[in-house]
Protein backbone atom coordinates (compact mmCIF):
# COMPACT_ATOMS: atom_id res chain seq x y z
CA UNK A 1 0.00 0.00 0.00
CA UNK A 2 1.47 3.38 -0.98
CA UNK A 3 0.88 6.37 1.25
CA UNK A 4 -0.27 9.41 -0.71
CA UNK A 5 -1.71 11.50 2.11
CA UNK A 6 -1.41 15.29 1.94
CA UNK A 7 1.01 17.21 4.14
CA UNK A 8 0.58 17.07 7.93
CA UNK A 9 -1.44 13.85 7.93
CA UNK A 10 -0.70 10.74 10.03
CA UNK A 11 0.07 8.77 6.88
CA UNK A 12 2.69 11.28 5.77
CA UNK A 13 4.24 11.31 9.24
CA UNK A 14 4.59 7.53 9.27
CA UNK A 15 6.07 7.54 5.79
CA UNK A 16 8.77 10.00 6.82
CA UNK A 17 9.53 8.07 9.99
CA UNK A 18 10.25 4.82 8.21
CA UNK A 19 12.14 3.82 5.12
CA UNK A 20 12.70 0.58 3.21
CA UNK A 21 15.78 -0.09 1.15
CA UNK A 22 16.81 -2.83 -1.25
CA UNK A 23 15.09 -5.49 -3.29
CA UNK A 24 11.82 -7.03 -2.09
CA UNK A 25 13.45 -10.43 -2.61
CA UNK A 26 16.09 -9.65 0.00
CA UNK A 27 15.86 -11.74 3.18
CA UNK A 28 15.91 -9.26 6.04
CA UNK A 29 15.39 -11.64 9.00
CA UNK A 30 16.15 -15.34 9.12
CA UNK A 31 16.40 -18.16 11.62
CA UNK A 32 18.10 -21.47 11.04
CA UNK A 33 17.20 -24.41 13.28
CA UNK A 34 16.59 -22.34 16.41
CA UNK A 35 15.47 -24.14 19.55
CA UNK A 36 14.81 -23.05 23.12
CA UNK A 37 14.46 -25.30 26.14
CA UNK A 38 13.43 -24.46 29.69
CA UNK A 39 14.30 -27.10 32.31
CA UNK A 40 13.80 -29.90 29.84
CA UNK A 41 10.68 -28.40 28.22
CA UNK A 42 11.18 -27.47 24.56
CA UNK A 43 9.30 -24.25 23.83
CA UNK A 44 10.71 -23.73 20.32
CA UNK A 45 12.02 -26.67 18.32
CA UNK A 46 14.26 -26.48 15.25
CA UNK A 47 12.53 -23.51 13.60
CA UNK A 48 13.92 -22.28 10.28
CA UNK A 49 11.99 -19.25 9.08
CA UNK A 50 12.52 -16.25 6.79
CA UNK A 51 11.11 -12.74 6.40
CA UNK A 52 11.58 -10.84 3.14
CA UNK A 53 12.22 -7.12 2.98
CA UNK A 54 8.90 -5.26 2.97
CA UNK A 55 6.89 -8.40 3.80
CA UNK A 56 4.05 -8.51 6.33
CA UNK A 57 3.96 -11.93 7.98
CA UNK A 58 1.66 -13.36 10.63
CA UNK A 59 2.41 -16.05 13.21
CA UNK A 60 -0.54 -17.86 14.76
CA UNK A 61 -1.06 -20.92 16.91
CA UNK A 62 -2.87 -22.11 20.03
CA UNK A 63 -1.78 -21.05 23.51
CA UNK A 64 1.58 -22.57 24.39
CA UNK A 65 2.58 -23.05 20.76
CA UNK A 66 5.85 -21.14 21.24
CA UNK A 67 4.97 -17.90 19.41
CA UNK A 68 6.07 -15.40 22.05
CA UNK A 69 9.15 -17.46 22.91
CA UNK A 70 10.08 -17.31 19.23
CA UNK A 71 9.66 -13.51 19.34
CA UNK A 72 11.87 -13.43 22.44
CA UNK A 73 14.56 -15.33 20.55
CA UNK A 74 14.34 -12.98 17.58
CA UNK A 75 14.66 -9.89 19.77
CA UNK A 76 17.35 -11.13 22.15
CA UNK A 77 15.24 -11.56 25.27
CA UNK A 78 16.45 -15.19 25.42
CA UNK A 79 19.46 -16.86 23.79
CA UNK A 80 18.65 -19.98 21.77
CA UNK A 81 20.02 -23.33 22.89
CA UNK A 82 20.86 -24.04 19.28
CA UNK A 83 20.51 -22.52 15.83
CA UNK A 84 21.26 -19.06 14.47
CA UNK A 85 19.49 -15.75 13.79
CA UNK A 86 20.50 -13.34 11.04
CA UNK A 87 19.37 -9.76 10.42
CA UNK A 88 20.18 -8.39 6.97
CA UNK A 89 22.78 -11.12 6.60
CA UNK A 90 24.50 -10.37 9.93
CA UNK A 91 24.60 -13.07 12.59
CA UNK A 92 22.90 -11.57 15.65
CA UNK A 93 22.39 -14.82 17.57
CA UNK A 94 24.43 -13.58 20.55
CA UNK A 95 23.68 -9.86 20.23
CA UNK A 96 21.94 -8.35 23.28
CA UNK A 97 18.44 -6.93 22.86
CA UNK A 98 19.52 -3.27 22.82
CA UNK A 99 22.06 -3.96 20.07
CA UNK A 100 19.31 -5.48 17.92
CA UNK A 101 17.16 -2.37 18.44
CA UNK A 102 20.01 -0.22 17.16
CA UNK A 103 20.19 -2.50 14.11
CA UNK A 104 16.50 -1.87 13.45
CA UNK A 105 14.78 -4.87 15.06
CA UNK A 106 12.04 -3.48 17.34
CA UNK A 107 9.08 -5.10 19.11
CA UNK A 108 5.97 -4.39 21.15
CA UNK A 109 4.61 -6.63 23.91
CA UNK A 110 1.40 -8.55 24.52
CA UNK A 111 0.76 -6.44 27.62
CA UNK A 112 1.03 -2.74 26.77
CA UNK A 113 4.47 -1.49 27.84
CA UNK A 114 4.60 2.29 28.35
CA UNK A 115 5.82 4.54 31.17
CA UNK A 116 2.97 5.40 33.53
CA UNK A 117 2.92 8.48 35.79
CA UNK A 118 4.56 10.66 33.12
CA UNK A 119 3.02 12.37 30.12
CA UNK A 120 2.54 10.98 26.64
CA UNK A 121 5.12 13.42 25.32
CA UNK A 122 7.64 12.47 28.02
CA UNK A 123 7.26 8.84 26.96
CA UNK A 124 8.20 9.86 23.44
CA UNK A 125 11.14 11.99 24.60
CA UNK A 126 12.63 9.04 26.50
CA UNK A 127 12.45 6.75 23.47
CA UNK A 128 13.76 9.38 21.07
CA UNK A 129 16.68 10.42 23.30
CA UNK A 130 17.54 6.76 23.87
CA UNK A 131 18.00 6.16 20.16
CA UNK A 132 19.77 9.46 19.43
CA UNK A 133 22.30 9.07 22.24
CA UNK A 134 22.88 5.35 21.72
CA UNK A 135 23.75 5.92 18.06
CA UNK A 136 26.23 8.61 19.13
CA UNK A 137 27.82 6.32 21.72
CA UNK A 138 26.50 8.36 24.62
CA UNK A 139 24.97 7.40 27.95
CA UNK A 140 21.15 7.27 28.04
CA UNK A 141 20.78 10.79 29.40
CA UNK A 142 23.51 12.39 27.30
CA UNK A 143 22.72 15.73 25.70
CA UNK A 144 20.69 15.87 22.49
CA UNK A 145 19.49 18.73 20.33
CA UNK A 146 16.16 19.66 21.96
CA UNK A 147 14.61 21.00 18.78
CA UNK A 148 15.51 17.84 16.90
CA UNK A 149 14.08 15.65 19.67
CA UNK A 150 10.94 17.80 19.89
CA UNK A 151 10.30 17.55 16.15
CA UNK A 152 10.74 13.77 16.16
CA UNK A 153 8.37 13.39 19.11
CA UNK A 154 5.71 15.54 17.44
CA UNK A 155 6.08 13.52 14.26
CA UNK A 156 5.69 10.18 16.04
CA UNK A 157 2.65 11.30 18.04
CA UNK A 158 1.03 12.70 14.92
CA UNK A 159 1.63 9.39 13.15
CA UNK A 160 -0.60 7.58 15.66
CA UNK A 161 -3.14 10.36 16.21
CA UNK A 162 -2.13 11.23 19.78
CA UNK A 163 -0.66 14.69 19.25
CA UNK A 164 -3.67 16.31 20.96
CA UNK A 165 -3.03 14.25 24.12
CA UNK A 166 0.70 14.91 24.37
CA UNK A 167 0.44 16.74 27.71
CA UNK A 168 -1.75 14.12 29.40
CA UNK A 169 -0.49 11.48 31.79
CA UNK A 170 -0.52 8.01 30.28
CA UNK A 171 -2.76 7.01 33.19
CA UNK A 172 -5.49 9.11 31.56
CA UNK A 173 -5.32 7.19 28.28
CA UNK A 174 -7.64 4.36 27.33
CA UNK A 175 -6.08 0.96 26.78
CA UNK A 176 -6.40 1.39 23.03
CA UNK A 177 -4.63 4.77 23.20
CA UNK A 178 -1.85 3.19 25.26
CA UNK A 179 -1.46 0.59 22.53
CA UNK A 180 -1.11 3.38 19.96
CA UNK A 181 1.47 5.08 22.17
CA UNK A 182 3.42 1.84 22.45
CA UNK A 183 3.50 1.59 18.66
CA UNK A 184 4.60 5.23 18.46
CA UNK A 185 7.46 4.45 20.87
CA UNK A 186 8.47 1.59 18.59
CA UNK A 187 8.32 3.83 15.51
CA UNK A 188 10.51 6.41 17.27
CA UNK A 189 13.27 3.77 17.30
CA UNK A 190 13.27 3.80 13.47
CA UNK A 191 12.68 0.06 12.92
CA UNK A 192 13.50 -1.85 9.78
CA UNK A 193 11.60 -4.83 11.19
CA UNK A 194 8.67 -4.30 13.58
CA UNK A 195 7.38 -7.24 15.62
CA UNK A 196 3.92 -6.88 17.19
CA UNK A 197 2.93 -9.37 19.89
CA UNK A 198 -0.88 -9.60 20.00
CA UNK A 199 -1.55 -5.88 19.39
CA UNK A 200 -5.33 -6.37 19.63
CA UNK A 201 -5.30 -8.10 23.03
CA UNK A 202 -7.64 -6.40 25.50
CA UNK A 203 -9.06 -3.94 22.96
CA UNK A 204 -12.70 -3.26 22.12
CA UNK A 205 -13.92 -3.71 18.55
CA UNK A 206 -13.66 0.03 17.94
CA UNK A 207 -10.12 0.19 19.34
CA UNK A 208 -9.13 -2.82 17.26
CA UNK A 209 -10.35 -1.04 14.13
CA UNK A 210 -8.25 2.04 14.98
CA UNK A 211 -5.09 0.05 15.74
CA UNK A 212 -5.63 -2.11 12.66
CA UNK A 213 -5.85 1.00 10.49
CA UNK A 214 -2.61 2.27 12.04
CA UNK A 215 -0.83 -1.04 11.38
CA UNK A 216 -2.01 -1.02 7.75
CA UNK A 217 -0.36 2.37 7.25
CA UNK A 218 2.79 1.39 9.13
CA UNK A 219 3.36 -1.83 7.22
CA UNK A 220 3.75 0.02 3.93
CA UNK A 221 7.13 1.29 5.07
CA UNK A 222 8.83 -1.60 6.85
CA UNK A 223 8.94 -5.35 7.33
CA UNK A 224 6.30 -6.54 9.78
CA UNK A 225 5.75 -9.65 11.88
CA UNK A 226 2.59 -9.97 13.94
CA UNK A 227 1.43 -12.57 16.47
CA UNK A 228 -2.33 -12.60 16.88
CA UNK A 229 -5.04 -14.94 18.15
CA UNK A 230 -7.80 -13.05 16.32
CA UNK A 231 -7.11 -14.71 12.98
CA UNK A 232 -9.89 -12.90 11.14
CA UNK A 233 -8.19 -9.56 11.90
CA UNK A 234 -4.90 -10.41 10.19
CA UNK A 235 -5.87 -12.66 7.26
CA UNK A 236 -6.18 -9.62 4.99
CA UNK A 237 -3.34 -7.77 6.71
CA UNK A 238 -0.48 -10.17 6.00
CA UNK A 239 0.76 -11.78 2.81
CA UNK A 240 2.14 -14.84 4.58
CA UNK A 241 0.99 -16.86 7.56
CA UNK A 242 3.01 -19.28 9.69
CA UNK A 243 1.34 -21.66 12.14
CA UNK A 244 3.17 -22.87 15.23
CA UNK A 245 2.19 -25.90 17.29
CA UNK A 246 4.17 -27.46 20.13
CA UNK A 247 7.17 -25.29 19.31
CA UNK A 248 7.33 -26.11 15.61
CA UNK A 249 6.17 -24.40 12.43
CA UNK A 250 3.62 -26.81 10.97
CA UNK A 251 2.42 -24.66 8.05
CA UNK A 252 3.65 -21.62 6.16
CA UNK A 253 2.32 -19.84 3.09
CA UNK A 254 -0.53 -17.71 1.76
CA UNK A 255 -3.09 -17.14 4.57
CA UNK A 256 -6.15 -18.75 2.96
CA UNK A 257 -4.14 -21.76 1.79
CA UNK A 258 -2.61 -22.26 5.23
CA UNK A 259 -5.96 -22.03 7.03
CA UNK A 260 -7.42 -24.63 4.68
CA UNK A 261 -4.80 -27.23 5.55
CA UNK A 262 -6.25 -30.21 7.50
CA UNK A 263 -3.47 -30.17 10.10
CA UNK A 264 -4.06 -26.49 10.85
CA UNK A 265 -7.81 -26.96 11.14
CA UNK A 266 -7.26 -29.91 13.45
CA UNK A 267 -4.92 -27.93 15.71
CA UNK A 268 -7.19 -24.90 15.91
CA UNK A 269 -10.72 -26.26 15.78
CA UNK A 270 -10.22 -29.96 16.56
CA UNK A 271 -11.69 -31.01 13.22
CA UNK A 272 -10.86 -31.19 9.54
Q: How many CB atoms lie within 10 A of CB 209?
A: 14
The pLDDT value given to residue 223: 96
Task: Report, as ranges of residue numbers, the positions in the chain whose pLDDT lies below 70.
Answer: 1-25, 130-145, 271-272
Q: What are 59-78's pLDDT values in tens digits?
A: 999 888 999 999 999 999 99
Q: What are 79-130's pLDDT values in tens digits?
A: 999 999 999 999 999 999 989 998 999 998 877 778 888 899 888 888 777 6
Q: Domains of the chain (ranges plus CATH)? A: 10-17+25-117+191-269 (3.40.50.300)
Q: Residue 64, Cα to own-chain centre: how many angstroms?
A: 20
Pairing of strands 193-197, 223-227: parallel
Q: Kindly report the pTM of this predicted structure.
A: 0.83
The pLDDT value given to residue 268: 82
Q: What is the mean pLDDT of the chain?
A: 84
The pLDDT value given to residue 232: 87
For the chain, the distance separating the N- and C-terminal CA atoms, rounded to the nearest angstrom, is 34
Amino acid sequence: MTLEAPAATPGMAISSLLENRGSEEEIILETSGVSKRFDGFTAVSDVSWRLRLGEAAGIIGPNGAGKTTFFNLLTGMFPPNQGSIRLRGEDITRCPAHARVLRGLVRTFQLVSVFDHITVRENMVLATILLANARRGRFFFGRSDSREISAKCDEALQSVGLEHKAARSTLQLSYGEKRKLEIALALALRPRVLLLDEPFAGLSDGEIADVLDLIRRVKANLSLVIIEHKISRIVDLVSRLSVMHEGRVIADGAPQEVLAQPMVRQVYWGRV
